[in-house]
Structure formats: C-alpha cells, structure tokens
Amino acid sequence: MSNAKPDGIAAPTATPVDDIPAIVGRMRTTFRSHATRPVEWRRQQLRKLWWGFHDHEKNITAALAQDIHKAELEALQSDGVWLKNAIIDVLADLDKWTQEEKLSVDLMSMAASPVIRKEPLGVVLIIGAYNYPFQLTFGPMIGAIAAGNCVVVKPSEVSTASATVVTNIITERLDPDAFAVINGSIPETTKLLEQKFDKICYTGSTAVGRVVAAAAAKHLTPTILELGGLNPCIISKSADAKLAARRVSWGKTLNGGQVCISPNYAIVHSSKEAEFVDSMANTLHKFYPNGMQASPDLARIVNDRHFHRIKNMLDQTSGEIKIGGRTDENDKYIDVTLVKVKDENDSLMKDEIFGPVLPYLVIDNLDDQVEFVNRISDSPLALYLFTNDKKEEEYILSRTRSGGVSVNDCIWHAASHKVPFGGIGDSGMGNYRDKFGFDQFSHHRTTARQAGGWFEAILDARYPPYLPSKLSQY
C-alpha cells in the first residue's frame, strides 16, 4: 500500500523581515487603544476562532496528513476537536475568571478591601513547534485572547501545510489589528525576538529555548518555555507488563513518536522483560495488522533532516534490536523499534529521540532506577511509572521530578485541555491551558480602595512622628 502523502496545501510565504517591526507596532497600537479589554470582545474573537476550527476541520486534518501522514482520528483528537472543546470551556468560565478576586488580609489592610484585578499583559508572542502545529499555537492563544491580549503567532516552518492553515484561520477569522501571523524560520524569528513583547510563549527544543529566553531577557519579557527532554518510563517488578506494553506502545507511536512527552527510554525490571517485549510485539501486530508501514495509522517523520537524525541514532546503537529496526528514506518511515541497550553511552540514550524508537535497559534495584533517571536528566518533561505497589510509587515519585507524571499510563496526564501542562528545569517553565492559560496571560494587579477620611484615625499609627507609644504597639 502506498503511503504517498496527499499533496496540495502550499507552504506559506515568509513574512518580509523588514515588515515585522510595523506588524508588532500595529498590535501595540491596538492594545493601547483598549479595544481588546471588553470581555464581550474577547468572547466574540473566541467564538470566531471556534468557527474557524469548525469550518477548516478538513483543512486541519489534510494539513496534518500532508505534513506527517497523521491519521484523521488522531488529528481531530489532538488538534481539531481538542481546540474547539478548549474554547467552549473557556467561554463557559470566562465571566468568573475576569471578576475581581477578593484577598483575605490583616486588620490594617481590611478597610482598603484589596482585590486582584485580572488585566491583559499587552502584546504576546507565541512560537510553535512542528509536531502539534495547531494545538501548540492556538492552545496558548486561547488563553491569551481570553485574558484580553493582542497576539503574534509564529508557526513552525517545518510543518508547512499546517502553517498555511494556521495562517488562514487567523487572518480570515480574527481582528487583523489585534492578531497577526509571522511566517518564516530563523531570520524572521530572530527579528521578531528583537521586538518588545509582554510575554513570550515558546514551544520547541531546549537549545532554541535558551536563545528565546536570552532574547526575552533583553526586554525583561517573561516567558513560558515548553521544551523537550529525555522522558523515562519505568516498568517495575510489580507492574502489569502486558498492560504496560500496550500503553507504552500507544505512547510511543502517537504522532509517530514526535511528541514532547513520548517515553524516550524505558527501565524494565528483569522479571518483566520477556513479557514486556513479547506483549509489545503482539500489541504492535494488533495496532497494525497489515504491517506498520502499510498502516494508515502510523505517522511519518516530518522531514529528511529529522529522518536522518533518528536513523543515525539507530545505525549507531550497540544495542540489540528486539522489535522493528527497518527504515525507508523515500517514505521518511521508521519502524516502531524496541532496542535493548546496555547503558547511557548508547547512541539512543544521548538525546531526545522524537521518533518511534524506544531503547530500554534492565535495572532491578529501585534505588539504582531512581539514580539512573536523575543522572540522565533530573528534570524531564514527563515521567511514566508502571507499578501496582503504592509504596514503590511514592518512593519513586518523591525522589524524582518532572513536568508531569502518568502512573500506569503514558501521555494521559497531559491529554485534557483543562489540565496545566508544562515542564520544570531543562524541560521548561510555566504552564497553560484553561484557567492556567488565562492566568499566565493576565497581570494580577493588586488594587486597594482605601476607606474614607474617618479611617485616618486608625491609619494614624503609620504616620511620623514615630512616637514611642506607636513603637510599643509592635
């Protein structure tokens, strides 16, 4: 069966670099006009965006099929329908979130009834990664619109068809004075990062995250950094190995393994190794009954550069290939591959794989497992643990850290559009989605409204001269 990608959606034209300052300036002028502040205006934009996703649903799934051969069901789950549901829930709660929030304070401050006003930050920049080109741009954008900001979106230039559809949805549906798309690669992003923003939300590799953070620091711009890393997956001695194999297979094959929270490597207890390997082989056969490459449900690697990056890792491994191992350059196809490796010096253990290859090691002792995880990366984006022993679970969770955790599953802690999603340390900072996104793109402005002149008698204690009688009150 041919896996030729449907062709058709052309790449977007790069934004002329010299136009970028004026585009950002236009957003700034709009923000200063206060046009984005009324909650009803925000609602209107969010509703228009919802209809944009609805009307462009076929274009979204076609673009993802063209870019990475993504199956329609996966595309709707992770992008098309996911984003529509995210908007519906934000619209339901927006009035509540935009209310002033009362603060509980001490006696001296009580008369001023301090509250938190939720105010927009200003002009926000969102830079997306290639693997979820809709969710990772529009996901944060929903929170930024809800909070009343102007937004500049920079889609990844790697997912070319998706970048075009992202551009079309924004330019067709949203207020052009408040929302803009910049297309391009490093020169365009570099120019963008020279501009002053009030927040930058960047999703991508840790290396480029450092470039973004350094550029943001020049303007004292706060950042949300959604980065990558080496996510461990522990199959412990108490795990249900068959169930683990099925769920790990799903977590590793989703989006062709091009997920920031894909398990990057597994640690398997020796008593579970044989069952885990056999069950994974059986699972993959059930997932792809006519063979992996023939299946319409397994995504491809996005481009030649990434294909060769993963293939090189695989070619250089000194591990034992237990499942898969085949690659096809013409199709940018890589088998779902399970490799038993000896240690962290293996080529598959050095960097984030970001493809359908899973190395695993056998380590039995719990302390050794914890030590290994922390040595390889002490702050992965996700950690997966398969166990049926509560004590073991607590032992591992309390001695490791990660952006998020799924126990007895993969990916699932980050699946809902309502949960906060973010990293820690090298895997990033900040999180967004639903109320967490609204808060990230809002300024929490503490506001006190002092009581009238009669209250001066009580406030007298704060004014000089600081008589000994006042001091004695402390």
Residue 410 is among the residues annotated as catalytic for this protein: no
Q: How far is CA 165 from CA 138, 269, 278, in A?
A: 12, 45, 41
d(CA 70, CA 58): 13
Does 417 sit near ligand NAD (CB under 6 A)? no
Figure out which of the listed residues 42, 70, 154, 435 binds ligand NAD, where binding follows CB under 6 A. 154
Of 373, 428, 432, residue with least CA distance to 401: 373
The angle at the Cα of 462, spanning 459 to 464, to the nearest 5 degrees, equals: 125
Figure out which of the listed residues 79, 198, 226, 335 binds ligand NAD, where binding follows CB under 6 A. 226
Minimum CB separation of residue 378 from ligand NAD in Å reads 17
d(CA 34, CA 355): 45
Figure out which of the listed residues 423, 431, 433, 434 binds ligand NAD, where binding follows CB under 6 A. 423
Minimum CB separation of residue 367 from ligand NAD in Å reads 28
Is 232 or 428 the residue whose CB approaches ligand NAD more closely?
428
The SS3 assignment for 407 reads strand
- Residue 173, amino acid: R
Cis check: omega of the bond before 465, within 30 degrees of 0: yes
Minimum CB separation of residue 431 from ligand NAD in Å reads 9
Place of tokens 């339901």: 92
Is 79 or 352 the residue whose CB approaches ligand NAD more closely?
352
Q: Is residue 304 within 8 Å of 259, Cβ to Cβ?
A: no
Which residue's CB comes closest to ligand NAD?
Answer: 228
In order, the DSSP letters of 382-403 are EEEEE-S-HHHHHHHHTT---S
Q: Which two tokens stand for residue 119?
A: 């105010």
d(CA 472, CA 158): 68
Q: Is residue 271 within 8 Å of 239, Cβ to Cβ?
A: no
The SS3 assignment for 91 reads helix
Longest CA–CA span in the chain (Å) reads 91
Minimum CB separation of residue 135 from ligand NAD in Å reads 9
Count residues near ligand NAD (CB under 6 A): 28
Minimum CB separation of residue 302 from ligand NAD in Å reads 8
Residues 186-225 that bind ligand NAD (CB under 6 A): 186, 189-190, 203-205, 208, 211
Is 52 or 380 the residue whose CB approaches ligand NAD more closely?
380
Is 333 or 432 the residue whose CB approaches ligand NAD more closely?
432
Place of tokens 């959604």: 226
Catalytic residue among 74, 157, 188, 226: 226
Does 419 sit near ligand NAD (CB under 6 A)? no
Figure out which of the listed residues 157, 198, 346, 409 binds ligand NAD, where binding follows CB under 6 A. 157
Q: Is residue 224 within 8 Å of 439, Cβ to Cβ?
A: no
Residue 150 is among the residues annotated as catalytic for this protein: no
Residues 85-144 that bind ligand NAD (CB under 6 A): 127-131, 136
Minimum CB separation of residue 352 from ligand NAD in Å reads 5
Minimum CB separation of residue 199 from ligand NAD in Å reads 16
What string marks each residue from 343 to 362 as x (binds ligand NAD by CB under 6 A) or -? ---------x-x--------
β-bridge partners, 386: 235
Catalytic residue among 150, 201, 233, 260: 260
Residues 56-75 that bind ligand NAD (CB under 6 A): none
The runs of H, that is alpha helices, within 33-80 are 39-55, 57-68, 72-75
Q: Is residue 169 within 8 Å of 94, Cβ to Cβ?
A: no
Is 87 or 192 the residue whose CB approaches ligand NAD more closely?
192
Is 186 or 217 the residue whose CB approaches ligand NAD more closely?
186
Is 228 or 324 the residue whose CB approaches ligand NAD more closely?
228
Q: Is residue 369 within 8 Å of 39, Cβ to Cβ?
A: no
Extended beta strands in 35-177, E state: 101-102, 115-120, 123-127, 150-154
Binding footprint of ligand NAD on the chain (CB under 6 A): 127-131, 136, 154, 156-158, 185-186, 189-190, 203-205, 208, 211, 226-228, 260, 352, 354, 381, 423, 428
Cite the active site residues: 226, 260
